[in-house]
Amino acid sequence: MASPVTVVEIGQDEILTGEAVALDVQPTGFFLRALGAVIDVAVAVVVYILFALVMVWWGGFGLDPAVIPIVAIAMIVVVAVVLPTVVETATRGRSLGKLAVGGRIVRADGGAAGFRHAFIRALVGVLEVWMTVGAVAAVTGAFTPRSQRLGDLLAGTYSERTRAPRLVAADPVVPAALAAWAEVADVAPLSERLARRLGQFVRQAEQLQPDARARVAAELAAEASASVSPVPQTDPELFVRAVVAVRFARELSAVRLRDARAAALLR
pLDDT tens for 66-115 read 777 888 888 889 999 999 999 999 998 899 999 888 899 988 877 788 99
Q: In the predicted model, is pLDDT for residue 64 greater than 80?
A: no
Phi–psi pair at 233, nearest 5 degrees: -90, 95
User: Between 62 and 8, whose confidence is greater?
Assistant: 62
What residues contact residue 166 under an 8 Å CB cut-off, 6+ apart?
24
Res 264 pLDDT > 80: no
| CB-based contacts of 148, cutoff 8 Å, min separation 6 | 140, 141, 157, 158, 159
pLDDT at 121 over 90: yes
Q: 104: part of which helix (H) or strand (E)?
A: strand 103-107
Q: Domain ranges for the chain, please list them.
A: 30-161, 170-265
pLDDT of 249 reads 82
What is this structure's pTM?
0.55
